[in-house]
Structure formats: C-alpha cells, structure tokens
Structure 1
C-alpha cells in the first residue's frame, strides 16, 4: 500500500499541500509583508527541498497589433530550508519580507499576487496563489496627488511592455495617463503621461510625456508629426515635498 501511495504522491494525488495566510490583503509599496505558510502532509512522508514565495504582476504586450495580458515575476523569496513532512503532519512557518518600492500598484487592470511553491523532491509540486492590493509608496502617492491638485484626472493606468530604452529590472513599465479638466493646464494640454522609472524610500525618478493641444494649422501639423509631445525626466526627493506642487507646475508649464 505504501508503494502505491508513493506512486500516487509522485503525480500529486495524496501529496503534501501548501496554504499561505497573510496578515492582511492591502499593502503600501516598500512595506513589510508578514504571514504564515501552512504545510499539510499527505499520505506518505516527503522531502521538501524549499518553499518559495514569488511576487507576480500582469502587464500588456502587443504583438502584430494584438494586445494580450502576460505575467511577470517581481521578486522571489525563499522562506524555508529543506525538511521532511510526515504523513498527515501539519507545519506552520512564519515569514516576512519587504515589498519593493518600485513595484506596480494595483490600479486599472493591473493585478499583483503571491505564488507559493512547495518544492517536493520526487513528487508533484504544490502551489498556492493569493492576490493582494498595492498602494503607492508615500512619496509616489504625494506626487500623484499633487498632479490631481493641478486639475488632472486619471484616465487610464496600466502596466505595459517596456521598450529597451526604458527597461530596467522589470520587462514592463506602469503608465499613468491624465487629462486636464480644470486648473492652469485645461485647454493647453491634451494629456499628461507619467511613468515611474525608479523608486526608493526617499526619491522617485519619473518620465513625463507632455502632450500639447494643437493650436492653428501649425499646431495640427505638429500634432500629426508627434512634434507636440515633449518627454521630460524629473527627480523628486523627500526634500522637494514642501514645494512639490510648484515644482510640478513649473516643469509642466515649461513644455506646455
């Protein structure tokens, strides 16, 4: 009977299972995430080589004018050393790790989840999947809030495949597309796009695409040639926060 149990466990029947339980489901980028991984022994004793937690997100890829959703790993964490789980035994392993500051936030169609993988020697691996909400870090949230205070409204936000020019450690970038509905840029701009190029606890580097509204024949010609768009890099640190609104307005005005 034991032999047949081992055979069945090798293909996932009666094998060990894993379940990850998080302290909460909503986090700020850069926050410490805590939880427990529960392992339930199956019908036979099994060697567990490792337990991995991997952060994943979704992003949009375009191939031959067709868009489809892909997934990409953000970070991978090992939360255990090798151990043996006995039949019907239950183990609980606590864990904690820090979320990256530059991870995407869950807005629009963007999703983030934690995939738990139980690496079972000579057996079918067990998996678990837990979706989480990610809010922007403190400095990123302040920047996005000041953009709205200037009269912009978020029209669309999504992660999309990054061009080689702007690719960093991730194959995607998260783009925030705003339109001016009030304030100093209403009637002057068609839209403002913001991409976070890098983020730390104390500084963010962004790329802004300032899309000017066409005025007259020359303006329409420039719009047709995409000459009405300006790409502006801007660094914002915690020292800039007291005067951030003025800094953003002056920078955007220079190209509007």
Structure 2
C-alpha cells in the first residue's frame, strides 16, 4: 500500500464515499424507514469503524429579541460492525429503523433529513444528507382530519424551542397554525395553534392555543394586551377516536 495513498486518504483525497438510498422518502412517524447505504472504496483500504444514521431537523430559538436557527438530532442509529473497505470496492449495507413517533411532520418551515456519517480511522469522515417527507402518525392524522371537519385549515407549521413546561425528550416542539375558513368557528376565532407535547402510538398530549377574534372595544383591548388567547392542555387516546369530533368541538367552544 502506497504511503502517499494513505496520506491522501487521511485528508479526504481519494477516500471512501458514501451514498444513502431510501426505499421511500415518504415515511410516517412511528413506522419503519428502510434503505441501503452504498459505500465506494477510495484509493487505499480503509477501516470503517461505524456507520450511523441521524434523523435531523432545525428549530427556531429566540434570545434577546433575535431569532436563531438551531439543529437538533431526533434519533441516531448505528447500522454496522467495523469492517475494511478495499480500494474501489462497492459495498451495500441494508438498514431498517423505526422513525420516532415524536418526529416533526414535514410542513411549512419544518424540514427533516437523514444525515449519514462514516467514522473512518485516521481520515476525514465522509457524509451524506437525504431529505425525507414525514407524514403524521395515525392519531395526529385523525386530529388533523377532525379539525378539517370543524372548518379549520392548516396554514403553517414551525419547530420552536420548547419552554421548560413544554419540553420533553426533544429541545423543541412543533406548532401547527390553523385558521377557521368555514364552520362554527369562523368569525369567532382568529386562529387555533396546536402543539403536540408528547406523541406515542396510543396517546398524544397536546396544547390548544385558542385565539379569540376581537369583538368591540373590550375585545380590542384584550387583543392589545394578548389576553384574548387561552391555552388548553388535553390528551387524546385511541379510545377517544369515535367521540373525537365532539371532544374537540366542545373544548374549542368553551373558550371561543
């Protein structure tokens, strides 16, 4: 093995390359992500210590009246045992892992991607990034569908740094912004914000922020003082699904 090839590989010249190929870029939170990691050897043999897949997203954090974009790791999985890749060798490693139930949904400002990293001894580690489109889990989707039946339309979604009272496993929460374009809440609410604070296959915990429409002079003062908003904590389980329309309608009506 050439000494110069070793040196060049250690600084990333002529080194191994990696390419992750997903079976389907459309995935659902709580379900499997599948694909292969394709590796092409460089000009010299190299020891691949670890291949890891990280599910990533960005979120907005506010400090001193300024907004900053932070990156968060939602999950990280290792898919291999150490091995040696020979010069110009092609190798494919299949993978399958469960996308966490609390992975943000791809909508509005919320983007999700998989970062592939190879840890190579004495070398610059090659990486790859692949965007994925994350669909809501079954319970979240049912809540979205029910809000649609009540006349709400999703306007935007964004990941925001979580306050101490809302923070769970991740440093952010995803906020969904709805507006009532028809139905019983049109003219009564300016918007309805939904934040899922905890999501599993069986249960979701969420906060509804109900923004009442200003009515008259007192309503205008309330809007100026931001006292026209009410935050309501609630949980929904699979057992609630048959009555979900009534549960959500009654909850929103109580504070609108």
Q: TM-score, normalised by structure 1?
A: 0.96
Q: Which portions of structure 1, spanning 4 or more consecutive aligned residues, are displaced by more than 4 angstroms?
A: none
In the TM superposition, what are the counterparts of 1:207-226 in structure 2 within 5 Å? 207-226=207-226
In structure 2, list runs of 5 or more residues that go unmatched. none
SS in structure 2 at match of 1:8: helix
Size of the aligned set, in residue pairs, is 256
- 1:104-253 matches, within 5 Å, as 104-253=104-253
Written as runs of structure 1 = structure 2, the 5 A alignment for 1:28-107 is 28-107=28-107
Local SS of the residue matching 2:184: helix
Distance 1:82 1:234 in 2: 47
**In 1, are the aligned partners of 2:109 and 2:156 still within 8 Å (CA)?**
no
Distance, in Å, in 2 between the alignment partners of 1:88 and 1:181 is 59
Distance 2:253 2:87 in 1: 68
TM-score (norm 2): 0.96
1:94-150 CA-to-partner distances (Å, cap 9, x unmatched) read: 110000111101101211111110100011101011111000011101101111111
Q: Which consecutive residues of structure 1, in runs of 5 or more, have no partner in the other structure?
A: none
What CA distance in whole angstroms lies between the structure 1 residues aligned with 2:221 and 2:25? Answer: 49
> C-alpha deviations, 1:151-191, integer Å up to 9, x for none?
11222211112222211121211101111121111121111
Separation of aligned partners in 1, 2:86 and 2:215:
74
